[in-house]
Amino acid sequence: MRVKSESGLRFIAWQMLTGDRAKYFGLILAIAFSTFLMSHQMSIFVGLLDRTRSQIRDVRDASIWVMDPGTQYVDEVRAMSLSDLYRVRGVEGVEWAVPLLKGVARLKGADGTFRNSILLGVDDATLTGLPQRFLAGHWDALRAPKTVAVDRVGYAYFFGGPPYATGQEIELGPLVVRVGAVVDASPPFVNLPVVYARFSESVEMVGREPRQLSFILAKARPGVGESDLCARIRSATGLKALTSDEFGWDTIRYYIKNTGIPINFGITISIALLVGALVSGQTFSLFILENMKYFGALKAIGVTSMRIVGMIVMQALIVLAIGYSIGISLTALFFEVNKDSLDLRGFRLIPEVMLLAGGLIFVVVLMATILSVRRVVVDPALVFRG
């Protein structure tokens, strides 16, 4: 004798779940809150780490970064000489190689306000390394003498924009320069303004280590593998050569290993995970425990343990799906609303975080389900105990 259809039990499970609106919405809100907390904090963490390699990511034309062997990450460089650039250009398989200077320069506005800024000196001829999205002006403007491009943070600080315009004067180190373009640079780890100048002028703006450069950006000839070329450059010049991807990950690893910021953030995320897990797990567990006597009655009437587990799993999946959807939507909405905020640029919800948050909340609800279901499965006679 077999039961033909489970639709009757599904109806009972649905009614049990939604019958008490307050508990039903409480469950969904708990899962939504937990999902939001986890996905939001993980997104901030991932965004923060991603910011550490923003300048590497912004260089789209070159795919190989060459640097002094002692350089560990993008923000702490030991300068090389121009002769190193010529040696790299001579390596078989290099299509082209250009210099990039990375330093810190002081920006000073007309009203006397000043800020330290990240200065990137790009190749005079090709402007390789300049971001490709312009908010005002044109890349060609940088060819004029004493002309720079500033990012949104720098522009907002000194000129209060948007709307963005060009032509303003600003002191950059010992020089007075003109803003020729406003670019959409990726936000750096520390939210400093980013300024782009031609390499030949940037060495004057930094004012130290003249005629020296921070990185050499190179491109492999068609048909030459990037990793192979990196190995050739290392072998031929003794310099360190990495693909953009490798250098980006080296930078992220350096920050994780050597600074307390990601670790502290990691602890915050762990707490968010724990709070989220406790809130949603406890709420769902309480829901099942409150319904225990009804499940016990169903068991006594003749519903097998597996069918009862099926009912509870169905209830769990419903609140999980709705709660997760609301929570993840709230996170997406948060970053969408704040996407133009200068302080929150670059933070976004990525599919990996969506999956991880979904997986974690699924595990939490699953654990709560297993722990709660165990009682009705193991102790079926509880229904006769008043």
Q: Which residues bind other proteins (CB under 8 A)?
A: 1-9, 11-12, 15-16, 18-20, 293-294, 296-307, 380-381, 383-386
Joined together, the tokens standing for residue 52 give 């550490």
- Residue 316 beta carbon to other proteins: minimum distance, rounded to whole angstroms: 17
Beta carbon nearer to other proteins, 210 or 378: 378
Joined together, the tokens standing for residue 108 give 């000073």
Burial class (CB in 10 A: 0-12, 13-18, 19+), 191: middle
Cβ 364 vs Cβ 276: under 8 Å = yes
- Residue 304 beta carbon to other proteins: minimum distance, rounded to whole angstroms: 4
Beta carbon nearer to other proteins, 351 or 384: 384
- Residue 372 beta carbon to other proteins: minimum distance, rounded to whole angstroms: 17
- Residue 379 beta carbon to other proteins: minimum distance, rounded to whole angstroms: 9
- Residue 307 beta carbon to other proteins: minimum distance, rounded to whole angstroms: 8
Beta carbon nearer to other proteins, 245 or 290: 290
Beta carbon nearer to other proteins, 15 or 83: 15
Beta carbon nearer to other proteins, 184 or 290: 290
- Residue 295 beta carbon to other proteins: minimum distance, rounded to whole angstroms: 10
Beta carbon nearer to other proteins, 98 or 373: 373
Cβ 67 vs Cβ 80: under 8 Å = yes
Scan for tokens 């229904």, then name that residue: 383
